[in-house]
Amino acid sequence: MRLVLAEDHALLRDGLIRLLESHGFTIAAAVDNAPSLERALAEPDVEAAVVDVRLPPTFTDEGLRAAIAARAARPGFPVMVLSQYVEQLYARELLASGDGAVGYLLKDRVSDVSDFVDGVRRVAGGGTVLDPEVVATLMSRRREHPVDRLSPREREVLALMAEGRSNAAIAAGLHVSEKAVAKHTNSIFTKLDLPIAADDNRRVLAVLAWLDA
């Protein structure tokens, strides 16, 4: 898979290049600023991107904006966003389309090589991956919302779903059967008033409901 990598810190950028290439990815372009990122994302043979939220010239949200623009031009284009801190607004904006194939991880997670690479692969495959700290922050700021209809166990399942975990991974994490997780998942969809559709689409919509809570 051909990736664009955007990271302004030279050492981290070089480390990510080596890490991703050693796990089978091809780095089509590695850039350190927003204009270069925009040009790289416009190339038709690029299949996904790993992008720092803050890039030169202003170090605000150039990376995020370029990623959102790329997804507007190519719906469902896979983007993994990296950030130094939990910034709730960025997670919401990135997921707003509901198309999936997005991730939001704190840079500290890169040190856990297997989880980071697995997260990039899941995003590239159309999944949604959220950093556990992002999920925890969102949970702590919830107000009354349809999510409040969920039982404590269903909230646990949805929180893990928001991290991009499969039913099998959720079952392993909660020490229950996959059948039990599937039952909880169907209950979540019902309580959040999500219509019958492709299961992946409903998972993304459920995550969006969690983010909006």
On the question of pLDDT at 88 being above 80, the answer is no
Lowest mean pLDDT among 22-26, 43-47, 157-161: 157-161
Strand 79-83 to 128-130 pairing: unpaired
Q: Is 59 left (phi over 0), alpha (psi -120 to 50) or beta?
A: left
Work out the mean pLDDT of the chain and round it to a whole number.
Answer: 86
Which structural domains are found in the chain, ordered by start?
2-132 (3.40.50.2300), 142-212 (1.10.10.10)
Q: What percentage of the chain's residues is helix, strand, coil (to nearest 5)? A: 55, 15, 30
- Read off the pLDDT of residues 119-163 as tens digits, 9 standing for 90 and up: 999 999 998 888 888 777 666 655 556 777 888 899 899 889 888
3-state secondary structure at position 74: coil
Residue 104 is given by DSSP the state E
pTM value? 0.66
Cα–Cα distance between 141 and 182 in angstroms, integer? 27
Cα–Cα distance between 41 and 29 in angstroms, integer? 9
